[in-house]
A and B are shown apart, each in its own frame.
Chain A
Amino acid sequence: MSITMLEVQGLHKKYQNTVAVDDVSFKIDKQDIFGLLGPNGAGKSTTISIISGIIHRDKGEILVEGKNFDKNLKDIKRNMGLVPQDIIIFEDLTAKENLEYFGSLYGINNKTRKHNVDQTLEFIGLTDVANKFPKTFSGGMKRRLNIGCAIVHRPQIIILDEPTVGIDAQSRNHIMESIRKLNQQGATIIYTSHYMEEIQSLCNRLLIIDKGKVVESGNTNELLLKYNLNETYLIMLDKKIQNELCKQLNEIIGVVKCSINEKVLEIEAQANTFSLKHILDVIERTNYKFLSINMKRNNLEDIFLHLTGKTLRD
């Protein structure tokens, strides 16, 4: 039995005339990496601001480790680390001093703090520039410091609001790896992003919201399977392909569509019908040889498109 870390019931938040969060409920288990997915203005940051105690909710129940949120807010905050969407660090303090200051604000004592700061610097890969000012940092380094400031007190829950926006692939991979490590060390992670690949590879559970409402939620793999309607194969053959081949392929159970582009076959088939084996059989029987096979699976982007009729990044 897994332990419930955070439980949210019927969360509601309205700004002047925008409903930012509308009846959102979810449950996060200890050591989950929980993905919060949604297009611009979906209400991700608002939801996060509420559960990190920055803004008040209009309605809704929140329990952290089964405890009343409002009554235990002080302790809850000390056990949480929020990495905000914007980079919020002190430009006139060095990387190390930023960590020290945040550490002291989180109330960790001097001795632990020194140790934690050094470890955190190491962890976010900024040991070499510990005594440099953030204004000399690249975007990725600033992002990492932004994360460092939220984990220097070793929180049990780490909330990251689009921590990889606007940085290069290398920094991004570093951040993703760090999050996995933190998770392995026991932290529960809440992660929002626009980058589907990130969420897909990182999160074991996810919640998709749009216009403040929950659209879908569940285990990432189960969701992928549930919406994994079709797979597409791109098969390159050794010679120019005749129409006859497509006719034969179309008769295989599960194959939905077949088209030809010179030497390349594009075949759309229902997922999990073991059609690939039959397709390859037919190709061999008709005296073609295949040089390469590419398979494109449905991803969260497609699921989102399927559910809301729009893409995530527009």
Chain B
Amino acid sequence: MIISTFKYTLKREIRDYTSMLLMVFFPAILALIVGNALQGDFQAPKTEKYKVALIEGDMYMESLKSVFAAEAVSNITETIILNNHSEADNALLLGEIHGYIWYDSDEINFVVEDPELQGVAIITFILTQFTRNQNIFTHQNVNYNDYDVIGNRLLETYIQARGLSNNHIPRAFDYYGVTLTVLVCLFGSLYAIKIISDTLIGRKQERLLSVTNRLLPIYIGVLLASILLVAMQISVLLIFYKMVYGVFLGSNYFRLIAILFIFIIFSNLFGLALISVVKDYGIAYTLANIIILGSTFLAGGFVIIDLDHFGAGRLINQLLPNAVCQNVLFSTIYETNSVSFIEYIQVMAAGASILIIVAVLTNKRRLAK
């Protein structure tokens, strides 16, 4: 029953060319649009140089000055030398500089106005390298507005996101390529919703119930078909990204595919749970779209919002399945080990169990009526 349901569901879906069109071309077109927009932006950067002030100090500051004077750095940043803190604070307030650096006992401090600026990350990177070479204990990034210690976290996020590791300097599309892939995996849940409501909801379900008491094999067959279709779609997407944009995917393809495959299963289970609860294709489809886009927004896919002020950012990054998936993907591609594969599996297994329980409970109730 599982096998024949799988087989005939595949046949049905492949013949349904409108949905095939949507599922294969939609991500490709999305990728084209986003990709072109981002590529244009990055090939001809018009970005303002990051203006940073160095405050006079001991010999460490002297060596740091020479680092900032180096050509590679001075291409990106503009450095001025100031005498003390209050001068630097003034300059920051007047907008003459974006941040300043000073040395204090055994720490280098980096005070910034806007931690999300690209330059912050670059300077953070330089500082990390520098402190390592000079045997300085540590360095800190300090947000000028609240003087919170955000250095480590910022560095970590930056390395995850921009991948200043694995000897690869990422372009924007390397980052968005991965985020988009996760988004398209999530869109795969729409497949599950469609196929299940075409097969196992309402009159069709009644028809099947007159054939057999056990709908479980049919559910499994249908889900397997949906998972395979989404997996095919993601493969097409990844090949497209790689060929057209040369998206950097690291070297551990096996791990990468495993991560994505697990996420596709999760996404399909999400579709199953949603249609089981809602029982109506139209509503489930709309809800899924809202949830997918909303969670992508929260997971920092397209819009980076600083939720750390509310302490929520960290939580979302650890609990929101697509955030976890993105993080583990970046971590695998850039070999930063910020999220381990095991951690990822644990989050997915927990999420999947909840979804399965929801689906089973809602379906039990319906049959008992």
**In the complex, chain B residues 191-218 whose Cβ is within 8 Å of any chain A Cβ:** 203-204, 206-213, 218
Chain A nearest Cβ from B368, distance in angstroms: 7
CB atoms of A105 and B12 under 8 A apart: no
**In the complex, chain B residues 1-54 whose Cβ is within 8 Å of any chain A Cβ:** 1, 4-5, 8, 11-13, 15-16
CB atoms of B203 and A84 under 8 A apart: yes
CB atoms of A92 and B12 under 8 A apart: yes
Contact of B8 among A73, A97, A106 (CB under 8 A): A97
In whole angstroms, how far apart are the Cα atoms of A54 and B213 in the complex? 9
Contact of A54 among B11, B15, B209 (CB under 8 A): B209
Contact of A82 among B8, B15, B210, B213 (CB under 8 A): B210
In whole angstroms, how far apart are the Cα atoms of A96 and B48 in the complex? 67
* A133 contact set on B, CB distance < 8 A: 15
CB atoms of A53 and B210 under 8 A apart: yes
**In the complex, chain A residues 70-101 whose Cβ is within 8 Å of any chain B Cβ:** 73-74, 77, 80, 82, 84, 86, 88, 90, 92-93, 97, 100-101
**In the complex, chain B residues 345-369 whose Cβ is within 8 Å of any chain A Cβ:** 368-369
CB atoms of B4 and A104 under 8 A apart: yes
Chain A nearest Cβ from B18, distance in angstroms: 11
In whole angstroms, how far apart are the Cα atoms of A88 and B199 in the complex? 10
**Residue ID in chain B nearest A89 by CB atoms:** B207
CB atoms of A88 and B204 under 8 A apart: yes
A 96-127 binary contact with B (CB < 8 Å = 1; else 0)? 01001110111100000000000000000000
Contact of B12 among A49, A56, A90 (CB under 8 A): A90
Contact of A88 among B11, B207, B213 (CB under 8 A): B207
CB atoms of A56 and B369 under 8 A apart: yes
CB atoms of A92 and B212 under 8 A apart: no
CB atoms of B206 and A54 under 8 A apart: yes
Asked if A291 is at the interface (CB within 8 A of a chain B CB), the reply is no
Chain A nearest Cβ from B365, distance in angstroms: 12
* B12 contact set on A, CB distance < 8 A: 90, 92-93
**In the complex, chain A residues 162-198 whose Cβ is within 8 Å of any chain B Cβ:** none
* A56 contact set on B, CB distance < 8 A: 368-369
* A52 contact set on B, CB distance < 8 A: 210
**Residue ID in chain B nearest A74 by CB atoms:** B213
* B11 contact set on A, CB distance < 8 A: 92-93, 97
Chain B nearest Cβ from A108, distance in angstroms: 11
* B213 contact set on A, CB distance < 8 A: 53, 73-74, 77
* B13 contact set on A, CB distance < 8 A: 92
CB atoms of A105 and B203 under 8 A apart: no
Contact of A105 among B16, B206, B212 (CB under 8 A): B212
Asked if A55 is at the interface (CB within 8 A of a chain B CB), the reply is yes
In whole angstroms, how far apart are the Cα atoms of A77 and B369 in the complex? 19
Contact of A93 among B8, B207, B208 (CB under 8 A): B8
Given A53-B209, A101-B8, A105-B208: A92 touches B369 (CB 8 Å cut-off): no
CB atoms of B209 and A104 under 8 A apart: no
Given A73-B213, A92-B11: A101 touches B207 (CB 8 Å cut-off): no
**Residue ID in chain A nearest B214 by CB atoms:** A74
Chain A nearest Cβ from B283, distance in angstroms: 21
Contact of B210 among A54, A86, A92, A93 (CB under 8 A): A54
CB atoms of A104 and B212 under 8 A apart: no
Return the 10 tightest CB-CB contacts between A and B, nearest first: A104-B4, A92-B12, A82-B210, A88-B207, A52-B210, A92-B15, A101-B8, A54-B209, A105-B211, A54-B206
A sample of 14 cross-chain residue pairs with beta-carbon separation below 8 angstroms, ordered by A number, consists of A53-B210, A53-B213, A54-B209, A55-B369, A74-B213, A80-B210, A82-B210, A86-B203, A90-B12, A92-B13, A92-B16, A93-B8, A97-B8, A107-B1
